[in-house]
Amino acid sequence: MQTTQLTASDLSPLTPAYDSILALAPYQTGKPIEELTREYGVSDVVKLASNENPMGCSPRVTLAVTEQLGQLSRYPDGNGYYLKQALADFNDVNANQITLGNGSDDLLDILARSFVGADDAIVYSQYAFVVYPMLAKMQGATGIEVPAQRFGHNLKAMSQAVQDNPNTKIVFIANPNNPTGTQLEKKELRQFVAGVPSSVLVVLDEAYIEYSPESNNRALLDEFDNVIIVRTFSKAYGLAGLRVGYALSSVAVADLLNRIRQPFNVSRVGLAAAAAALADQDFIEKTRLINDEQMRWLEKQFDALGLGFVKSHANFIMVEVQVEMEDITAASIHQALLEQGVIVRPLDAYGLPNWLRITVGLAEDNLRLIDTLRSILTED
């Protein structure tokens, strides 16, 4: 979508709640397959742009979704009783510590709306998930971006930023991080949380946790009431199209979030599908194994092509594709890939214009990507 900067005069005499809303750039999603087919007439499209599960989802989900089809005229259970019970067992928490969301984006939004006002600040890392600075702008709050360290979170500097800004209400930490794929040491993260005032919420965004079980920081919840863990069914569980996420927190925080969320924010189909997906951990295990194997293969191919990459702990990998001598840029490679039916994600919006983020696909998808990339790079 092509967008231009919105100004106050475009809206006049209407005014947005905060001036910072005018500075918001719309979230850039991965290009849908249908759009590429429409624009370039390519039919055999490989989408490696949105960190979706290339294996689809568990077959159990199909059955659960089918069972709901006769009930679509009925509202969903606004409390998501069965899904919460299943999540409570799975995560060893009480059901009243859970908030369900229309994807985890919904939960990040609910958190910002619940805790952050115009005089407050949100702290996040450079090169972290792009939604965090957007939430600061939406709330008219101050967004404090802390410079990254080797493409990951610099927790010492983030701790300092919290200290320097006593109006900080939320610190967002993506672990593993999108788009860089970096992961934090458990010990270092615990130390960070222990040093943050208990009035500051530490939101651990674990959207890619299934790909990196060692990044599971569920244990911090028992120790710190100001820790919130946000997870999603969109990635390894393969339900991005249905929009289901959840947050684990203290009972009091969950109580607040549940007052702020829309009463039916997760659909009837979404609730049933997520419960069925959670029950099939063999599918998750298989997903992780295939992802690991394909990630190693891609790393080898990038090495062979002489392209730099950042070691990733998730289901995507960030590759440096600027070839200055030959006037090849990430933007030109992105475009050439699109024209040949391969969708990857440019990272200009993250301040990484020389890099592309590539979701790990199935073997045949990855082979197609590498063959296409090689032909672009070696073209006269």
Ligand X SMILES: Cc1ncc(COP(=O)(O)O)c(C=O)c1O
105 vs 108, 117, 321, 340, CA distance in Å? 5, 19, 29, 31
35 vs 29, 30, 243, 282, CA distance in Å? 12, 10, 21, 34
String of contacts with ligand X for each residue 16-55, x by CB under 6 A? -----------------------------------x----
DSSP β-bridge partners for residue 47? 343
Q: Which is nearer to ligand X, 127 or 309 (CB)?
A: 127
Instruction: Report how many residues bind ligand X under the rule CB under 6 A.
Output: 13
103 near ligand X (CB under 6 A): yes
Cα 255 to chain centroid, rounded = 24
Provide the minimum distance between the beta carbon of 4 and ligand X in the complex, in angstroms, as a whole number: 25
String of contacts with ligand X for each residue 321-360, x by CB under 6 A? ----------------------------------------
Distance CA 189, CA 187 (A): 5
Task: Report the half-sphere exposure of 150 (CA within 13 A, side-chain side).
Answer: 7
Q: Hey, how many other C-beta atoms are within 10 angstroms of the C-beta on 149?
A: 15
105 near ligand X (CB under 6 A): yes
238 near ligand X (CB under 6 A): no
109 near ligand X (CB under 6 A): no
DSSP β-bridge partners for residue 125? 146
Provide the minimum distance between the beta carbon of 316 and ligand X in the complex, in angstroms, as a whole number: 9
240 near ligand X (CB under 6 A): yes
- What tokens appear for 190 in the block? 């615990």
320 vs 33, 70, 295, CA distance in Å? 24, 49, 16
Q: Which is nearer to ligand X, 152 or 245 (CB)?
A: 245
207 near ligand X (CB under 6 A): yes
Provide the minimum distance between the beta carbon of 129 and ligand X in the complex, in angstroms, as a whole number: 4
Q: Which stretch binds ligand X (CB under 6 A): 54-62, 68-76, 88-96, 98-106?
A: 98-106
278 near ligand X (CB under 6 A): no
Please pick, from the candidates 115, 124, 127, 129, the single residue that binds ligand X as defined by CB under 6 A.
129
Phi, psi of 202 (to 5 degrees): -105, 110
Q: Three-state DSSP class for 151?
A: coil
Q: Which stretch binds ligand X (CB under 6 A): 18-26, 100-108, 254-262, 300-308?
A: 100-108
Q: Which is nearer to ligand X, 145 or 339 (CB)?
A: 145
Q: C-alpha angle with apex 219: 215 to 225, nearest 5 degrees?
A: 120
Q: Which is nearer to ligand X, 207 or 360 (CB)?
A: 207
312 near ligand X (CB under 6 A): no
Q: Which is nearer to ligand X, 264 or 322 (CB)?
A: 264
Q: Three-state DSSP class for 319?
A: strand
Please pick, from the candidates 232, 249, 291, 340, the single residue that binds ligand X as defined by CB under 6 A.
232
Residue 345's nearest CA partner among 28, 26, 1, 3 is 28
Q: Which stretch binds ligand X (CB under 6 A): 97-105, 163-171, 296-304, 323-331?
A: 97-105
Distance CA 296, CA 130 (A): 27
String of contacts with ligand X for each residue 166-205, x by CB under 6 A? --------x---x--------------------------x
In this structure, are strands 245-248 and 98-101 parallel, antiparallel, or unpaired?
antiparallel
Name 39's Cβ contacts closer than 8 Å, sequence gap at least 6.
none
Q: Which is nearer to ligand X, 50 or 332 (CB)?
A: 50
Distance CA 354, CA 322 (A): 5
Residue 145's nearest CA partner among 171, 123, 160 is 123
372 near ligand X (CB under 6 A): no
Provide the minimum distance between the beta carbon of 370 and ligand X in the complex, in angstroms, as a whole number: 24
Q: H-type helices in 155-225, by residue range? A: 155-164, 186-195, 219-223
**Cα Rg for the chain, rounded, in angstroms?**
21
361 near ligand X (CB under 6 A): no
Report the interface residues with ligand X, using CB under 6 A.
Answer: 51, 103-105, 129, 174, 178, 205, 207, 232, 234, 240, 245
